[in-house]
A and B are shown apart, each in its own frame.
Chain A
Amino acid sequence: MEFSTTLWLWVGVAGMTAGTLPTAYRLLLGGENRDLSAVLFGITGIAAVAYLIMAFGYGTITVAGSSVEIVRYTDWLLTTPLMVLYLALLSQPGRRVIGALVAVDAVVIVAGVAATAAGGITRYLLFGVGTLAYLVLVWLLVRTLPRRASFASTRQESAFVTLRNLTVVVWTLYPVVWLLAPTGVGLLLPETQVLVFTYLDIVSKVGFVAVALRGMRDLATAETELGVGAD
């Protein structure tokens, strides 16, 4: 068995699909928190499709001499706002903050795509723009969101804090990989880069969905207990 880029991409397909199944099941069953389940389904579902496309070898286009993994970035451009949206739905900070979060997130991803496509000093300038936007996003998630948040219960707050920390910490590793990869200093070879990105994606998306689902279950349990307490 040869360890190649394609293999890692297929691992990604498998991981994302496995991560999609519980939310799909929840959506089929119906019940509470359908909107939250739908967002979670979107996160891993879109990623699974993206990995499938990349596994079949259609993931890359060439822009101005640089090959850009357009499918991967499209995946990120769709799924990261969904994850931010999920955090916002948990904390209910109001429309303006949600809008700001999604907009800044989009800037981060687009700056990443542009940096990959560009060459020379422009590449690092765009990377700087992306990093700056990412810092703004982190500030919004760590400071603004909890301050504006209105949590229904401590369990919901607990779920939000865990998910928020997971998102901030794991996302911070993406630019590190980008810098180590051929897009940056080139310490990582492309196949290793694909492996690392796949693993990061699985952890940040499937891990996110898993923690979110557990939080949702806690939420349901808490509500039941409250109902009993009221009697």
Chain B
Amino acid sequence: MKRSGMFESVRSSFGAKLGVALLAVVALVVGFGFVVQEETSAALEDEVRNELGTSAETRAAELDTWISGIEGQVRLHSTRSVIASGDTAAISRHLTETAERDALPEGVVAIHYYDTEERTIQASSMPRMEGVNPAEAGAPFATDPPTFEGTDDTHVTAPFTVPVVDFPVVSVISLVEGTEGKALIYMIDLKSHTESFARTAGQGSTVVVDGEGRIVAHPESERLLTDYEGDVSALSGGFEEQEDLLVAGAEMQTLEWTVLARSDRATAYALGDRITSFVVGLILLALVSLAFVGVVVGSNTIVSLRQLAGRADAMAKGDLDVDLSTTRTDEFGTLYRSFDEMRGELRSQIRATEEKKEAIERKNQTLEATAAEYGTVMDAVADGDLTRRLDTDTEHEAMADIAASFNQMLDAVSETMGEVKAFSEHVVTAAERVDDGADEVMDASSQVTTATTEISDGAERQTEALHEVSTEMDALSSSAEEIAATVDEVAQASERAAEVGEEGQEHAERAIEEMDAVEQTTTETAEEVTALAEELDAVSEVVDVITDIAAETNLLALNASIEAARTGEEGDGFAVVADEVKQLAEETAESAAEIEDRIDRIQARAGETTTAMTETQARIESGVETVEAAIDALDNVATAVDETDSSIQEIRDATAQQASSATSVVDRVDDVAAIGDQTAEEATDAAAAAQQQTSTMTTVSDAAEQLTEQARELRTVLEDFTVDERAGSSEFSADTGVDPGGNGSVPATNGSGSDAGLRADGFDPADPRARNGDGAGGD
């Protein structure tokens, strides 16, 4: 589903299609670029391998040539007569000369004449080497002497170092012919030779490894005679890629040495990298170009198409004035012009259609005019002028037919209308008679109603009067009950009065006792007061005595003071005492006078008190008399109350009897009132019936009036119709003429239509109420 959806979305979009196509091209370019790069790289690598292998082999052959050259020369040299002579001095001279003449092969730095049995170098081109014991120095040809098959055989030693020289040495040894154990040794300076050898292999370098895995030749001389870290045997004739080196190996023919041609990996593959870079660059350039073209052309095309589609849509929706101008001259320009032409064509077609439409509209207009004319005539006909006719002289056949048919119809209608008119006249007359009859019935009915209403009113008034009597009796009964209740209360009150009278008597008797007690006490008090006055007289005599004493004392004091004055100064103290005594006597006299005054006043009061007492006694005596009179009066009251009580009892009995009589009267009156109510109700029912009858008759009358009105209206309406005089008048003229108009009934021969009409208005001749009403009217 998802895939098909994606497929659909690509199918429906030009941009997506273009994008997919461009992506396909890009994928193709990238894919092919990848193939080219892979192929080129593979070919290039093969090339590099082959080249390196060849280089290794060449170098090995070179080294072979060099070594075998030296071997040949050693062999040849050893056959020289000087060497074979055994004359050490001569040999030494010869070797030195040879070295000086530069006749030695490349790389050979010295020649030694060596005695294998004594193991000493007997002569040498290097004088310091003469007499040296190589075995002591550790030269392998001395410590481990090689075996020779003959004088033509040579031996190449493994590289070694000796203390005498500061470089690694390889020696080539050949036995001297015709001597016993003498050998000629060429000493090769490995360092100086291999350094140049190792470096001359193009951009790379050469390494030589001997059979024991030691480096014999290396561009870096310090690595000579160190162990080679790789597996040499695997490399002989093979190829190996190390971290940043490519190595190819080749074995030497003459020795068990392996020559390794090495090349810097980056340098070796530089061309490949450049090609890869160019291929990738080319792909990217193609990609950029495709992207640019695709985006510009694609976006432009899509936008142009969308705009054109938008304008086509607008045209499809009726807007023919869209802008279709363009400055483009390509296919889009053509498309725009095509659309423009199409629009022109559309416009002309639309114009033609509009012309046709106008013709039809004109025809419609004449039709409409005819129709309007017909309409006017028909309106007149509708208004009642049945004399008008449609004009059949028109260009439309259908319209002419319509006119003819209509005219025919009008003829028929006109005739019918005349008949209807005559009939309506007849109906009016009949209905007027019915109306009159109904009015009479109604009047009679109204009179009945009035009479019945009067009866009803009378009964109602009677009932009301009875109700009033009943109410009055109720009131009477209740007032009698109230009187009984009041009499009870009065009885109770008189009882309470009798009780109060008795209580008053008791209280009056107690008052008399109290008053007697007061009188006695008052008499006692008066005696006491008289006694007090006598006592006070005695006190007054004592005070007189004191007054006399005080006067004498005063006189004494005066005398004393005179006596003191006479005695002079010595009597001063006595004078003071006399003075004081005099003062005391005076004060005592004053106090005595005061006491006497008081006693006089008390005695006066006592006199007054005694008089008051006497008065009180007299009053009490009169009070006692009054109280005794009151007791007598109260006795009389009690007697009167008893009498009142018995009278009240009699009144109560009478009242109760009165109340029960009133209740029975009320019951009777209620019965009478109920009868009155019933009478009133029945009278009301009778009045209602009479009223209903009246209203029914009113309905009848209204109906008859309505019928008359409608018959009149019909007549008026029919009068609007203008009909030929002859139409329909003959049939009814005879009937109206014959009917005397006596009872209002329409003859059955022609009245079925009008009967139905009457019934429809609500008047049914069979209705019993209507008959009753009629009867009432008659009464």
Contact = CB atoms under 8 A, between A and B. Distances in A.
Query: Are A and B bound to each other?
Result: yes
A196 B277 CA distance: 11
A211 B299 CA distance: 11
A192 B278 contact: yes
A195 to B, nearest CB: 6
Contacts of A61: none
Contacts of B274: 189
B292 A170 contact: yes
Nearest to B282: A192
For chain A, which range describes its interface: under 10, 10 to 19, 20 to 34, or 35 or more residues? 20 to 34
Contact of B296 (A166, A192, A196, A229): A166
Contact of A188 (B280, B289, B304, B310): B280
Contacts of B288: 170, 173, 196, 199-200, 203
Given A157-B303, A158-B304, A177 B295 contact: no
A165 B295 contact: yes
A188 B274 CA distance: 8
Contacts of B323: 225, 229
B296 A211 contact: yes
B284 interface: yes
Contacts of A60: none
Nearest to B298: A165
Contacts, number: 77
B287 to A, nearest CB: 6
A203 B289 contact: yes
B307 interface: yes
B327 interface: yes
A193 B278 CA distance: 9
B303 A203 contact: no
Interface in A156-179: 157-158, 161-162, 165-166, 169-170, 173, 176-177
A180 B302 CA distance: 33
Given A170-B291, A188-B277, A165 B299 contact: yes
A195 B281 contact: yes
Given A154-B307, A225-B323, A225-B325, A173 B291 contact: yes
B703 to A, nearest CB: 81
A189 B292 contact: no
Contacts of B292: 166, 170, 203, 207
For chain B, which range describes its interface: under 10, 10 to 19, 20 to 34, or 35 or more residues? 20 to 34
Interface in A7-63: none
A221 B300 CA distance: 17
Interface string B256-284: 00000000000000000110111011001
Contacts of A196: 281, 284-285, 288
A187 interface: yes
Interface in A73-99: none
A211 to B, nearest CB: 6
Nearest to B307: A154
A166 B325 CA distance: 27
A158 B304 CA distance: 8
Contacts of A187: 276-277, 280
Contacts of A195: 281, 285
B461 to A, nearest CB: 100
A123 to B, nearest CB: 20
Interface string A180-191: 100000011101
Contacts of B298: 165
Nearest to B287: A173
Contact of A166 (B273, B277, B295): B295
Given A158-B299, A203-B291, 19 more contacts: A161-B302, A161-B303, A162-B300, A162-B303, A166-B295, A169-B295, A170-B288, A173-B288, A187-B280, A188-B277, A195-B285, A199-B284, A199-B285, A200-B288, A203-B288, A203-B289, A207-B292, A221-B327, A229-B323
30 contacts: A154-B307, A158-B299, A158-B300, A158-B304, A162-B299, A162-B303, A166-B296, A166-B299, A169-B291, A169-B295, A173-B284, A173-B291, A187-B276, A187-B277, A187-B280, A188-B277, A188-B280, A188-B281, A188-B284, A192-B278, A192-B280, A193-B281, A195-B285, A196-B285, A199-B284, A199-B288, A200-B284, A207-B296, A211-B296, A229-B323
